[in-house]
Amino acid sequence: MLRQVRLFLALVSLLFAVLSGPATAQLSDRQSDYYQGWVKTADRAEDVIEANRASNASLENLRSEIHTYRDVFNSARGANTERIQTLESQIKALGPGPEGDATEPEDIATLRSHLENQLNALRVPHIISDEAFSRANGLIAEIDQILRNRQKKELLERGPSPLNPSYWRPAWVDLTEAGRSLFNEAVQNYQTDVVHEQLRKQGLGILLLVFVAIVLLGYGKRWSEAAGNYLRTIGGQGTGVWTFLTSLFRIILPWLGVLLLVKAVVLTGILGLRGTLLIQNVPFWAAIVLYYDWIGRQVYVMQQAQGFRKLSPKRITELRIYLDLLAVFLILHDLGNLFEQIENTSDATRAVVGFPVILATALVLLRARQIRLAEVQAEPDGNARGTGVIQLVEFLRRALFLLGVVSPVLAAIGYNNAAEAIVFPAVKSLILIAALIILQRFLTSVYGLITRKGEAARDTLFSVLIGFAMAILALPVLALIWGARETDLLEAWSRLLLGFDIGGVTVSPSNFFTFLVVFLIGYGLTRALQGGLRTSLLPKTSIDPGGQNAIVSGTGYVGIFLAALVAIMVAGFDLSSLAIVAGALSVGIGFGLQTIVSNFVSGIILLVERPISKGDWIDVNGMMGYVRDISVRSTRIETFDRTDVIVPNSDLISGVVTNYTRGNTIGRVIVPVGVAYGTDTRVVETILGEIANAHPMVLANPAPNVVFQGFGADSLDFEIRAILRDVNWVLSVKSDMNHEINRRFVEEGIEIPFAQRDVWLRNPEALQSSDNAQMPPSEPVSEAKAPPASSPAELTEADLSDGDGDEP
């Protein structure tokens, strides 16, 4: 490997010598020394990886050093990119070089040679950086693999069983010896002159710290409530914001008291090495206790608010006790790990000391699950499972059962590391999830306070989005809780920043964010331009409303297309490699989405050709109404029943459409009316003409006319035919004319007939005989009258018609 590196450096040096010149870019001495340092580090890393004997801390330090080199080489890979592209464009502009024995003009040949030398010189740092970056990537991956294998081996390693009685007495001896050593160190330090001098010098400060700590511990709750009452006077009652802040004060002030108390103890200098290591963790342990107690209080507040009563107050109190116990068990677990580090105890002692904590934690988790199980069984309607939060709780309940059973069993048979890696991360994960739910509720309450929506803000989109964002942000924390290394997360983030390749197009968070920002800016400008055209510019022109709507819609489509195009160019996406894919997609779209494409093209035709416009009164496929919106896929029609009908644009282009208001609103109204036979038709004509001319919506030119339509079955039929200035008023005009016709005909004594029929019966004696045969014998039978001699001979089917035939 070393020989290959030296050969590579020799080739690079030779290339520099060939390409050296006043205008060429070369590696400086500083860059060369830096690269030599990288080669030494990489060679050392390869030897360490091959030996696989270094400690985890050494491997982490080596990985961090390689990671620094990799970042530098990654930055160098993107240097002079624009200059390289410019040189490539210049060389391309000169055309292809001569082939074979052909020559080109001396000036062009000199220029081509000069440009190629510059291009090759600029490519050298890129080549070196790419090679070094790839090598660093490989070394980091190998180190990570070694660390993961060691972590896996440690997790699955089986040790002594804590149930073996032979380990109990040595474990007890180790514990008592540790406690005795801690006490003896403190006593010996107290007897030294150094500690006495320290107490004399720092005595007043120590007493002051102790006094302030006691005050904070004793009056922290009271001060927190007072601060909460003051904040509630500002406003926002019922949102829960001030209650949440008050609850934070309740844990922050006591924790500050503990921190000051620990500081006072450290200043005394009484504690030895063991005591110092122990006291340094007390603020962290106090934070765990206060935090878990705060979680329990917030669960109680959430139960009391917004009718979320899934647990009874008794169950909530019990759950709060279990949360406090889990906090204590976590502290005991950390104390056991600290005890192992300080005293360097055996694996058997560690297993015996840790098993009771694991078992107690698992039992508390199982009991917490039983609390929820009892409450669910008590609900006969089973509506507790309706929301996503309840479904999450049900999933966690099942997980708690599995973890609570598996972890003690693993610890009992000797897999102490695996048991600890299951039960304690489970507790931390549950508390993290609870904290996320509480924090989401608080942020939603803040949103409700700002927007003055109050409790209604919990049902808004903001609550869902903030919950989704918090869930995404919590994923790295959950990964760390369950054993992931920080370097693993940083490596995943680095890989993400480098981007991923899709069909030859590199997509990274930076260029994706650039694309999103530029597109949103272009989209906003497009909407602003549309608003200006719709409200300010176009209304002042003589363009009809349909044309204005077409201009506004077309501007929106063009603006969005240009915004996407500019965003792609600014973000640096090279879409040339996707040409083949785009061609294949176009074929698939042509076959699979031909209906959508047809509607899209029809929508463009509607906006350009404008056979119908927004606000037109149309009739298509038996559906009549006003056009309210024209989009690229469909058109929305509002019927006279105030219902919206969505019509595909292809139906409007290929089908038959009646447009009553195309170009103008002038239209004709026809009002039919019939009068009785014997009425003077000229008088009727005069009256109807006066009524038509008197209506304000009827145009004088062309003048309305009255048509004697013909002789109907029951009446003389007339029609008023008039042109209206606005056909949208046709029903109102028709109603007004009918009212006026009725009034004038009553004044003039003109009758509006209704259908009448004379029915003649043939052979009535046969009907009478039939009736007599059905009557009882005791009843007298009346004598039937003879029919008139002029009765019709037969009742035909024409006599039963609806009056369209001639009168008899």
What's the start-to-end Cα distance of the chain, in Å? Answer: 122
pLDDT of residue 721: 94
Q: Is the pLDDT of residue 5 over 60?
A: no
pLDDT per residue over 629-657, tens digit each? 887 778 889 888 888 888 888 888 888 88
CB atoms within 10 A of CB 605: 15
The DSSP symbol for 148 reads H
Q: What is the mean pLDDT of the chain?
A: 79
Q: Is the pLDDT of residue 536 over 90?
A: no
Average pLDDT rounded to a whole number, residues 301-306: 57
pLDDT of residue 439: 87
pLDDT of residue 800: 32
Q: 804 pLDDT band (50/70/90 cuts)?
A: very low
Q: 316 pLDDT band (50/70/90 cuts)?
A: confident
pLDDT per residue over 379-431, tens digit each? 444 444 445 556 666 777 777 788 888 888 998 998 888 898 888 998 888 88
pLDDT of residue 22: 36
Q: 788 pLDDT band (50/70/90 cuts)?
A: very low
Q: 691 pLDDT band (50/70/90 cuts)?
A: very high
Place of tokens 């009809």: 544
Comparing CA positions, the residue from 525, 513, 602 lying closest to residue 558 is: 525
Q: Is the pLDDT of residue 797 over 60?
A: no
Q: Is the pLDDT of residue 743 over 70?
A: yes
Q: 35 pLDDT band (50/70/90 cuts)?
A: confident
Q: Is the pLDDT of residue 768 over 70?
A: no
Average pLDDT rounded to a whole number, residues 545-551: 75
pLDDT of residue 306: 47
The percent of residues in the chain predicted with pLDDT above 70, rounded, is 81
* Gap between the Cα atoms of 759 and 787, Å rounded: 13
> CB of 52 within 8 A of CB of 107?
no
In the structure encoding, which two tokens stand for residue 239, read together?
A: 């949102």
Type and span of the H or E element at 784:
none
pLDDT of residue 787: 44
> CB of 379 within 8 A of CB of 395?
no
pLDDT of residue 706: 92
Burial label, 354 (beta-carbon count in 10 A; 0-12, 13-18, 19+): buried
Cβ-count burial 103-133 (b if 16+ within 10 Å, e if not): eeeeeeeeebeebbbbbebbbbbbebbeebb
DSSP string, 701-735: SSPPEEEEEEE-SSSEEEEEEEEES-GGGHHHHHH
Q: Pick 381 or 277 by higher pLDDT.
A: 277
pLDDT of residue 466: 87
Of the listed ranges 19-28, 310-319, 435-444, 637-646, the one predicted with least confidence: 19-28
pLDDT of residue 19: 37
Q: Pick 671 or 568 by higher pLDDT.
A: 671
Q: Is the pLDDT of residue 786 over 50?
A: no
DSSP string, 191-242: TSHHHHHHHHHHHHHHHHHHHHHHHHHHHHHHHHHHHHHHHHTTS-TTSSHH
pLDDT per residue over 224-245, tens digit each? 888 777 777 776 555 567 778 8
Q: 31 pLDDT band (50/70/90 cuts)?
A: low
In the structure encoding, which two tokens stand for residue 1, read together?
A: 């490997």
Average pLDDT rounded to a whole number, residues 19-31: 47
Q: Is the pLDDT of residue 717 over 90?
A: yes
Q: Pick 129 or 82 by higher pLDDT.
A: 129
Q: 310 pLDDT band (50/70/90 cuts)?
A: low
Q: Is the pLDDT of residue 741 over 90?
A: yes
Task: Give me the sheet containing 667-675, strands edge to edge.
Answer: 667-675, 716-724, 705-711
pLDDT per residue over 160-186, tens digit each? 889 988 988 888 988 888 888 888 888
**776 preceded by cis ω (within 30°)?**
no
Amino acid residing at 786: A
pLDDT of residue 769: 63
Of the listed ranges 2-6, 728-732, 764-768, the one predicted with least confidence: 2-6
pLDDT of residue 119: 83
pLDDT of residue 774: 56
pLDDT of residue 772: 59
DSSP string, 163-183: T-GGGHHHHHHHHHHHHHHHH
pLDDT of residue 12: 43
* Gap between the Cα atoms of 453 and 444, Å rounded: 10
The percent of residues in the chain predicted with pLDDT above 90, rounded, is 12
Q: Is the pLDDT of residue 372 over 60?
A: no
pLDDT of residue 375: 46
Average pLDDT rounded to a whole number, residues 735-749: 92
Comparing CA positions, the residue from 409, 406, 325 lying closest to residue 360 is: 325
Q: Is the pLDDT of residue 377 over 60?
A: no
CA of 256: how far to CAs of 163, 213, 279, 615, 694, in Å? 41, 7, 15, 69, 91
